[in-house]
Chain A
């Protein structure tokens, strides 16, 4: 159980393109979803937290107009990187958790984004 699917697994596109990444919880309802960014040999950096039906809460230094997050249902959150540039190239990972209390996060397998 507790499977999180992330799509696409990798994407290469030209500078200026907007890219949408989907994160789905397949067998549980995700009350909270998280988006992370990870550079090579580094840890995961939390970008934003979203609760179903609410606006996402962005971490300091993360541009909300650049990284649009939508969490319209209990099983789907999307991250759109708008007008992507080479410096946005990274590994983006989502996670989801359901319920309250001690429910852990479960992670997708990440999306490798390369902007040319």
Chain B
């Protein structure tokens, strides 16, 4: 399984763009990259998923370089309510079935 490495924490201010980068050097051909947001005492919430290049939805963008060894989650114009832990997951369907392992996550603090 591909191990992921993210910064432990990040600070930002309201209205700023936040970019969180995740390293996954051992990503496999079948693996997708998925980002989740988690608030205290809640389950993780799906943000965005991609395989390569750039993916954008209504809340975020995901940038994946050609070698796919890293990915960057971009949150435009964050607000106080975006303070949460963000997890980068790498996983896909392999011989043993679908499996992903959570890394430590990035704690984002958005200040007023």
Instruction: List residues of chain A with CB under 8 Å of any chain B CB.
Output: 2, 4, 6, 32, 36, 43-46, 49, 51, 57, 91, 93-95, 97, 100-102, 104-110, 112
- In the complex, the answer to whether B103 meets A43 with C-beta atoms within 8 Å is yes
Q: How far is the CA of A57 from the CA of B98 in the complex (A)?
A: 11
Q: Give which listed residue, B34, B43, B46, B99, contacts A93 with CB less than 8 A.
A: B43
B interface majority secondary structure: strand
Q: How far is the CA of A93 from the CA of B45 in the complex (A)?
A: 12
Q: How far is the CA of A4 from the CA of B46 in the complex (A)?
A: 12
Instruction: List residues of chain B with CB under 8 Å of any chain A CB.
Output: 32, 34, 36, 41-46, 49, 51, 87, 89, 93, 96-105
**Chain A residues with CB below 8 A from B42, complex form:** 109-110
Q: How far is the CA of A97 from the CA of B44 in the complex (A)?
A: 14
Q: How far is the CA of A43 from the CA of B101 in the complex (A)?
A: 10
- In the complex, the answer to whether B102 meets A45 with C-beta atoms within 8 Å is yes
**Chain A residues with CB below 8 A from B36, complex form:** 107
Q: Give which listed residue, A2, A32, A44, A101, contacts B46 with CB less than 8 A.
A: A2
